[in-house]
Amino acid sequence: RKEVEQDPGPFNVPEGATVAFNCTYSNSASQSFFWYRQDCRKEPKLLMSVYSSGNEDGRFTAQLNRASQYISLLIRDSKLSDSATYLCVVNEFGNEKLTFGTGTRLTIIP
Amino acid sequence: NAGVTQTPKFQVLKTGQSMTLQCAQDMNHNSMYWYRQDPGMGLRLIYYSASEGTTDKGEVPNGYNVSRLNKREFSLRLESAAPSQTSVYFCASTPPAGGPYEQYFGPGTRLTVT
């Protein structure tokens, strides 16, 4: 079983729609959680950290469910510029190494 | 600040050739990392360095060596390239300890081994 699992997609979503991705992690010692965004042939960049109470950044909302060991990302009012691959990332307590999921590919359709 | 820089951007090698991928960061970060990214595999850690003078193996270290030359620079060397090392290589760095360990990535090196 992979440490971090994501649905690879692709998700093809019309502009303006709401889309949600889930990600599950297997290591219960995981302490920090992130969503990274990776554009085609570019490097990953941090989109947002995921906090226990859930957090929102504009059109993006991240949630953490420790009991079920999953995190989610919700994108509202999707824009063409949201087209990218979204990587779920977890970090074990006291360990600087990050574990990356394989990513979920999102395409926003005009 | 330039952030994390990597050279070269592209490279084609023949099997058995050697090369060094260079990485530098100007953010005064302590920890640096080398990853490879292959289709369907996600990012896999090759080596990392928690501080100048220290290096540790990651998930896929075989066939690679690293050098943390100073706080700024962390190089990755392929001594005898193999077609299985065809990949995109990313270098990353992390701010000083204290979490939550956000990583900043360089633009990547696209390596093809024929």
Q: Reduced to 3 states, what is the DSSP secondary structure of residue A48?
A: strand
Cross-chain Cβ contact B103/A46 below 8 Å: yes
**The residue type at A45:** K
| pLDDT for res A98 | 87
Contact A37, A85 (CB under 8 A): yes
DSSP code of A81? G
Task: Residue A97: list chain B partners with CB under 8 A.
Answer: 33, 45, 48, 58
Widest Cα–Cα separation across chain B: 43
| pLDDT for res A28 | 85
| pLDDT for res B89 | 98
Closest residue of chain B to A101, computed from CA coordinates: B42
| pLDDT for res A97 | 81
Closest residue of chain B to A32, computed from CA coordinates: B100
Contact B48, B34 (CB under 8 A): yes
Residues of chain B whose pLDDT is less than 50?
A: none
**DSSP per-residue codes, chain B:** ---EEEE-SEEEE-TT--EEEEEEE-S--SEEEEEEEETTTEEEEEEEESSTT--EE-S--TTEEEEE-SSSBEEEEESS--GGG-EEEEEEEEPSSSS----EE---EEEEE-
Q: Which residue in the set A87, A96, A103 is minimally distant from B94, CB to CB?
A: A96
Residues of chain A whose pLDDT is less than 70?
A: 1, 93-94
Determine the residue among A96, A99, A104, A105 to mutate to test chain B binding: the one whose Cβ has the most chain B Cβ atoms within 10 Å. Answer: A96
| pLDDT for res B97 | 65
Task: Residue B33: list chain A partners with CB under 8 A.
Answer: 97
| Angstrom distances, CA of residue A34 to CA of A73, B94, B100 | 10, 14, 9
Contact B10, B110 (CB under 8 A): yes
Residues 44-63 of B with CB under 8 A from A: 45, 48, 50, 58
**The residue type at B60:** V
**A to B CB pairs, distance under 8 Å:** 48
**pLDDT 10s digits, A21-49:** 999 999 888 888 999 999 999 999 999 99
**pLDDT 10s digits, B5-27:** 999 999 999 999 999 999 999 99
Q: In angstroms, rounded to a whole number, what is the distance separating the alpha carbons of residues A103 and B97?
A: 26
